[in-house]
């Protein structure tokens, strides 16, 4: 896709369509809409009246026109963006995705996007526009051999910001492309069927990506894990014919500005399929458990972006990849295993496996020098009950670190909601015969129990746990995005990396 910065009048762009943001309850009596209304001889005003277009977020109205005068395009798409006072840079990505999907579905290959966010930094607006189009166009059709309805793609995206600096816009485009493609990289991995994306294949894809973007990559195999004493991770892999892999990616800046000894790490749950193991899941809905590696895929997407955006701080990425299968070799409920940090675990439910693999992956990250750890996991069904598909659950051992992530979410349009942890909850995972057990009392605080279990394997690091089970995929398509994996948390955690960089500068 070609990108063009339009810094003059938006309607002078030589494209097939104009796509313009419209605020809730706005009327075409001034500004951009008035201009468009004049250029079309009052058509915009008539659309508002006859179609009762109200500017609700995601609402669209489309009109074909005969271009005349300075107006080059022969179509206009009005895209609702909701309340003007709530309209920020992340909304531009929704706007762009909605416009791109709408026009692509009608075989319209080029458009100029008019985001109408004059007061925001040009780079950010431009980045969100390009990212929104790239993620908006992602589809689940990789394995369709004859996709008859496959539409032409968007070939040219122009973004209009009157009076903007072209160079800043182009820098924004580049950033948006990196982030958008990284989000799609994650979504593509998450979407892969589990017979194709085995732990070995996931490691191969990580290696290939690392080579392409210039990251250090190391893959630990079963023998390495055994040497390191990762009995917890290995207990999950025990039932599977597929060998587990620990994927380790390192980004080292040319010149680091990070405070001595500080290192941020992202650790992901990479269960390529979760049957539940001996504590077998019911058949209904089990297919969704191919997504149980999305935390890991998200870490890979973040690392891809980091390598290309080149911040001045080091970043570590660790993904524990394995299947969770039942077999004669599988772990039994009541087995006791020893994790890398020496703690013993009584496994009472083999379906609570995410926390078991994260226990060793986090201990490993800390051994590599991580001082700030964010883990990402589709960890509990309970978080879906608590927060639905809207908020990612966040918990951790350092309130400032948690606040920072929540703030990064606000800045990038991703919602987090904190749940409490504490010693009352930690007591609930005391085992009769080992240090801890991997579940708490039935149906009580399931998401929190997952977090306090993981906490047992964090030593000195500041740590935040993100339970993305509700937010990692969408059951239905929305105007700006296909159904399936969402790529959630990538934008906010890239912002975290940048904050880290700025706070340690100088
Ligand atoms: N992968 C699941 C959690 C999950 C459930 C993610 C639904 C997305 C949708 C996880 O491994 C799991 O099975 N957790 C159990 C924990 C329980 C046994 C304590 C759960 O949530 O039921
Ligand atoms: Zn499970
Ligand atoms: Zn799982």
What separation in Å is there between the alpha carbon of 269 and the centre of ligand 2?
Answer: 11
What separation in Å is there between the alpha carbon of 248 and the centre of ligand 2?
Answer: 23
Q: Is the CB of 242 under 6 A from ligand 1?
A: no
pLDDT of 503 reads 83
Q: Is the CB of 59 under 6 A from ligand 1?
A: no
Residues annotated catalytic, as ranges = 281, 355
Q: Is the CB of 382 under 6 A from ligand 1?
A: yes
Q: Which of 483, 495, 500 is nearest to 413 (CA)?
A: 495
Residue 281 CA, closest ligand 1 atom number: 13
What separation in Å is there between the alpha carbon of 44 and the centre of ligand 1?
Answer: 50
Going by DSSP bridges, is the β-strand pair 473-474/436-437 parallel, antiparallel, or unpaired? unpaired
- Cβ atoms within 10 A of the Cβ of 119, count? 5
Residue 291 CA, closest ligand 1 atom number: 8
Spatial distance between the Cα atoms of 142 and 154, rounded to a whole number of angstroms: 18
Q: Whose CA is nearest to atom 3 of ligand 1?
A: 380
Q: Is the CB of 238 under 6 A from ligand 1?
A: no
pLDDT of 148 reads 60
pLDDT of 506 reads 45
Q: Which of 380, 386, 368, 400 is nearest to 464 (CA)?
A: 400
C-alpha angle with apex 492: 490 to 498, nearest 5 degrees?
A: 105
What separation in Å is there between the alpha carbon of 24 and the centre of ligand 2?
Answer: 43
pLDDT of 258 reads 74
Spatial distance between the Cα atoms of 420 and 445, rounded to a whole number of angstroms: 10
DSSP state of 321: E
Q: Is the CB of 351 under 6 A from ligand 1?
A: yes
Q: Whose CA is nearest to atom 5 of ligand 1?
A: 381
Do residues 96 and 130 make contact, with C-beta atoms less than 8 angstroms apart? Answer: yes
Residue 438 CA, closest ligand 1 atom number: 19
Do residues 291 and 190 make contact, with C-beta atoms less than 8 angstroms apart? Answer: yes
Q: pTM, whole model, 2 decimals?
A: 0.98
Q: Which residues of the chain have pLDDT under 70?
A: 147-150, 504-506
Residue 271 CA, closest ligand 1 atom number: 1
Q: Is the CB of 109 under 6 A from ligand 1?
A: no
What separation in Å is there between the alpha carbon of 180 and the centre of ligand 3?
Answer: 27
Q: Which of 498, 492, 496 is nearest to 312 (CA)?
A: 498
Q: What CA dihedral angle connects 252, 258, 263 and 269, to 10 degrees?
A: -70
Q: Is the CB of 322 under 6 A from ligand 1?
A: no
Q: Which residues surround ligand 3, an ion (CB under 5 A)?
A: 271, 274, 292, 354
């Amino acid at each position: 896709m070609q990108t063009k910065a339009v810094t003059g009048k938006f309607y002078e762009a030589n494209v097939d369509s104009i796509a313009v943001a419209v605020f809730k309850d706005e009327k075409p009596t001034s500004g951009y809409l008035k201009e468009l209304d004049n250029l079309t001889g009052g058509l915009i005003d008539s659309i508002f009246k006859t179609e009762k277009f109200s500017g609700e977020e995601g609402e669209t109205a489309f009109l074909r026109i005969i271009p005349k005068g300075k107006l080059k395009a022969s179509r206009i798409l009005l895209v609702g963006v909701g309340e003007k006072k709530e309209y920020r840079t992340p909304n531009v990505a929704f706007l762009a995705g909605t416009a791109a999907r709408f026009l692509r579905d009608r075989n319209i290959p080029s458009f100029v996007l008019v985001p109408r966010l004059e007061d925001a930094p040009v780079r950010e607006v431009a980045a969100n526009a390009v990212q929104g189009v790239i993620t908006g166009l992602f589809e689940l059709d990789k394995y369709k051999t004859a996709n008859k309805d496959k539409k032409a793609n968007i070939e040219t995206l122009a973004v209009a910001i009157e009076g903007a600096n072209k160079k800043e816009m182009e820098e924004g485009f580049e950033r948006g492309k990196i982030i958008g493609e990284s989000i799609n990289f994650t979504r593509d991995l998450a979407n892969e069927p589990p017979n194709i994306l085995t732990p070995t294949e996931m490691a191969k894809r990580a290696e290939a990506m690392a080579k392409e973007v210039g990251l250090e990559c190391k893959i630990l195999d079963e023998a390495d894990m055994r040497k390191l004493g990762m009995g917890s991770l290995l207990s999950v892999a025990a039932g599977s014919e597929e060998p587990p892999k620990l994927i380790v990616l390192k980004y080292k800046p040319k010149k680091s500005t990070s405070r001595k000894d500080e290192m941020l790490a992202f650790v992901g749950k990479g269960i390529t399929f979760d049957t539940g193991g001996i504590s077998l899941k019911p058949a209904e809905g089990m297919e969704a458990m191919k997504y149980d590696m999305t935390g890991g895929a998200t870490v890979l997407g973040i690392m891809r972006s980091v390598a290309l955006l080149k911040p001045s701080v080091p970043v570590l990425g660790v993904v524990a990849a394995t299947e969770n299968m039942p077999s004669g070799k599988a772990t039994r409920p009541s087995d006791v295993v020893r994790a890398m940090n020496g703690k013993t675990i009584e496994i009472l439910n083999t379906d609570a496996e995410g926390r078991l693999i994260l226990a060793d992956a986090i201990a490993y990250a800390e051994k590599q020098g991580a001082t700030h750890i964010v883990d990402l996991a589709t960890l509990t069904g309970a978080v879906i009950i608590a927060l639905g598909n809207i908020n990612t659950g966040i918990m951790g051992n350092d309130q400032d670190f948690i606040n920072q992530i929540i703030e990064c979410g606000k800045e990038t349009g991703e919602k987090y909601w904190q749940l409490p942890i504490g010693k009352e909850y930690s007591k609930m995972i005391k085992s009769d015969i080992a240090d801890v057990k991997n579940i708490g009392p039935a149906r009580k605080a399931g998401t929190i129990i997952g977090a306090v279990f993981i906490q047992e394997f964090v030593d000195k690091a500041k740590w935040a746990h993100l339970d993305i089970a509700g937010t990692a995929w969408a059951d239905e398509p929305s105007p700006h995005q296909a159904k399936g994996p969402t790529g959630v948390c990538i934008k906010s955690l890239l912002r975290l990396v940048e904050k880290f960089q700025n706070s340690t500068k100088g």
